[in-house]
Amino acid sequence: MKKLLGDERRKTILALLKAEEKAITGTELAKQANVSRQVIVNDMALLKAKNEPIVATSQGYLYLSQTQGNKNFEREIASLHSSEQTEDEMNTLVDAGVTIKNVSIIHPVYGDLTASIMASSRYDVQQFIKKMNDSEGKPLMDLTEGAHLHVISADSEAKLDMAVQQLQRKGYLVNQND
């Protein structure tokens, strides 16, 4: 297989991402283009700089197409729980039919820190938790004693409402009265 160069490689990467509804790992893209994973990381930075709607998730790179825009209801929620409850919180959200778009914290030094998640199924949650455990990574919320925000999306307000109700029932949401 020949090594793809510059613009041709980036056009190929875009075509691959647009054709796939699920995330593609940097390693897989590197194999397809016959280049290193670091070259793919650099290409992603260049494509994002050209305003291509690419997000890096724990599952790989994802192109946010218009067809994925059918989930047009979004809400930001404020959560507070232990690290051990992360998987349950995420499963509760995806079981309600929502996508967890990201997680963010307000850090006392760095300000807003946000990481893309893009989990919409128990499988996605399982892969996220596995990657966290395999890398011995820590959730962002560990930096803020469990406090964090999520942007969630769904194809209806009812699903967002149900997700919020389930999190409230489990005591995972920040109490608005505190």
Could you tell me the CATH number of the domain that includes residue 45?
1.10.10.10
Do 78 and 51 sit in the same domain of this protein?
A: no
DSSP SS3 for 71: coil
The number of domains in the chain is 2
Q: What is the structure's pLDDT at 178?
A: 45
Do 98 and 38 sit in the same domain of this protein?
A: no
Do 150 and 102 sit in the same domain of this protein?
A: yes
- Average pLDDT of every residue of the chain: 87
Pick the more confident residue, 59 or 102: 102
Q: What is the structure's pLDDT at 69?
A: 45
The string of pLDDT tens digits covering residues 49-88 is 888 888 887 778 888 775 444 557 999 999 999 999 999 9
The string of pLDDT tens digits covering residues 9-58 is 999 999 999 888 788 999 999 998 889 988 998 888 888 888 888 888 77
Do 54 and 105 sit in the same domain of this protein?
A: no
Intra-chain end-to-end CA distance of the chain, in Å: 61
Q: What is the mean pLDDT of residues 108-115?
A: 88
In a domain? residue 41: yes
The string of pLDDT tens digits covering residues 86-98 is 999 999 999 999 9
The crossing angle, in degrees rounded to 10, of helices 6-19 and 26-33 is 130
In a domain? residue 177: no
Helix (H) or strand (E) holding 128: helix 122-134
Q: What is the structure's pLDDT at 174?
A: 86
- Does pTM top 0.85 for this prediction? no
Do 122 and 103 sit in the same domain of this protein?
A: yes
Q: Structural domain of residue 57, as residue ranges?
A: 6-66
Q: What is the mean pLDDT of residues 139-165?
A: 92
Spatial distance between the Cα atoms of 22 and 53, rounded to a whole number of angstroms: 14
Kindly tell me if the per-residue pLDDT of 177 is higher than 60: no
Spatial distance between the Cα atoms of 7 and 33, rounded to a whole number of angstroms: 12
Domain end position, chosen among 17, 36, 66: 66
Residue 115's CATH number: 3.30.1340.20
Do 10 and 51 sit in the same domain of this protein?
A: yes
Which residues are CB-neighbours of 159 under 8 A, at least 6 positions away?
73, 96, 97, 98
Kindly tell me if the per-residue pLDDT of 160 is higher than 80: yes
Please name the amino acid found at residue 146: G
Domain end position, chosen among 66, 98, 116: 66
Do 82 and 160 sit in the same domain of this protein?
A: yes
Do 77 and 125 sit in the same domain of this protein?
A: yes
